[in-house]
Amino acid sequence: MSLSDQARDVLVKSESVFAASPEALESIGEILKRFDGPLRVAIAGKVKAGKSTLMNALVGERLAATDVGECTKIVTWYLDGHTYQVMLYPKDGSEAAQARFHRDEGALEIDLGNRSASEVERIEVTWPSKTLRELTLIDTPGIDSLTESVGTRAFEFLDPEDRATPADAVLYLMRHIHGSDLRLLEAFHDDSMAEPNPVNTVAVLSRADEIGAGRLDSMASSRRIARA
Ligand SMILES: Nc1nc2c(ncn2[C@@H]2O[C@H](COP(=O)(O)OP(=O)(O)OP(=O)(O)O)[C@@H](O)[C@H]2O)c(=O)[nH]1
Ligand SMILES: [Mg+2]
């Protein structure tokens, strides 16, 4: 039996152990639902690290805005579903609203209506997609400051209030290895995040073709840096 089957087995057994406690059953039910659902992977990193480009490459469609546009500043969830839908969750706690969208040469353009990016807590894009059936992807805004609070801020992006521990794993993109990236990576393993649901982080050396000023051997250099 695989490790995940064993873990699922423990959850199912615990349902009978806690049969007398409706509260416990509710929590176990939620955990089971999350366990059976797609893995939630957040893509984080500094500004222009290539997060949205990677997200689009994983899905195989240009869903996330790259380069410019207000939407790069908003945490955006990409989920599988039967219909194409974009929902905006306002920061002021008011009800989520459906947003208009269209495709411009394949790229998804979301109309925020009369809202500014700073007023939107998160966007949820539901898109029928084979990749998204297995993975829910969360594109996060670039982290642009190197202050002490960077780690905390990154987690604010990943931790909208109504969803406890939203990401199962984090892909952390970096173009070079900086001390600030290392501090941030350490923050992802912070105790407060590690419980009750450990967040795993994979560091990705991004825009690797540009390393070494884009010389022909840049991919070989990237491989060496990644190994180190
Ligand atoms: N050469 C090269 N350029 C890349 C690569 N990935 C992304 N880019 C370019 O880098 C720029 C930024 O890419 P984005 O995907 O928007 O980066 P981001 O991290 O989402 O940026 P923000 O959301 O604004 O922080 C764009 O011009 C991309 O075309 C890559 O692997 N190689
Ligand atoms: Mg982006």
CA angle 52, 45, 194 (to 5 degrees): 120
Give a yes or no: residue 66 inside a domain.
Answer: yes
Q: In terms of DSSP H, where are the helices of the chain?
A: 3-17, 22-36, 51-59, 130-134, 150-158, 179-188, 191-194, 218-227
Residue 206 Cα, ligand 1 centroid: separation in angstroms? 9
Instruction: Give tens-digit pLDDT for 61-88.
Output: 988 877 667 777 788 999 999 999 999 9
Q: Which residues contact 170 (CB under 8 A, 6 or more apart)?
A: 41, 42, 43, 44, 158, 188, 199, 200, 201, 202
Q: Which residues contact 191 (CB under 8 A, 6 or more apart)?
A: none
pLDDT reported for residue 104: 85
Bigger pLDDT: 156 or 195?
156
Give a yes or no: residue 14 inside a domain.
Answer: no
Q: Whose CA is nearest to atom 26 of ligand 1?
A: 67
Measure the CA–CA gap between 170 and 123, rounded to whole angstroms.
18
Instruction: Give tens-digit pLDDT for 159-204.
Output: 544 445 578 888 888 877 666 666 666 665 554 443 334 457 777 8
The closest ligand to the CA of 46 turns out to be 1
Express as a percent the part of the chain with pLDDT over 70.
71
Give a yes or no: residue 22 inside a domain.
Answer: no
Exposed, middle or buried: residue 6 (CB in 10 Å: 0-12, 13-18, 19+)?
exposed
Measure the CA–CA gap between 56 and 78, rounded to whole angstroms.
10
Give a yes or no: residue 44 inside a domain.
Answer: yes
> 135 falls in which pLDDT band (50, 70, 90)?
very high
pLDDT reported for residue 137: 94
Give a yes or no: residue 10 inside a domain.
Answer: no
Q: Whose CA is nearest to atom 16 of ligand 1?
A: 66
For a substitution probing ligand 1, which of 52, 53, 171, 204 has the most ligand atoms within 8 Å of its CB? 53
Give a yes or no: residue 83 inside a domain.
Answer: yes
Give a yes or no: residue 6 inside a domain.
Answer: no
* Number of the ligand 1 atom closest to the C-alpha atom of 210: 1
Mean pLDDT of 53-60: 92
Provide the CATH number for the domain around residue 195: 3.40.50
Structure tokens at 209: 């073709």
Query: Distance between alpha carbon 13 and the CA centroid of its chain, in Å?
Result: 31
Instruction: Give tens-digit pLDDT for 88-112.
Output: 999 888 899 999 999 888 888 899 8
Domain count, the chain: 1
Helix, coil or strand: residue 32 = helix
Q: Whose CA is nearest to atom 2 of ligand 1?
A: 207
* Number of the ligand 1 atom closest to the C-alpha atom of 55: 15
Give a yes or no: residue 19 inside a domain.
Answer: no
Instruction: Give tens-digit pLDDT for 194-205.
Output: 333 445 777 787
Residue tagged 């406690």 (tokens):
21
Produce one character per residue of 10-39: b if its CB has 16 or more CB atoms within 10 Å, e if not.
eeeebeeeeeeeeeeeeebeebeeeeeebe
Helix axes 3-17, 22-36, angle to 10 degrees: 160
Residue-range definition of the domain harbouring residue 130: 35-227
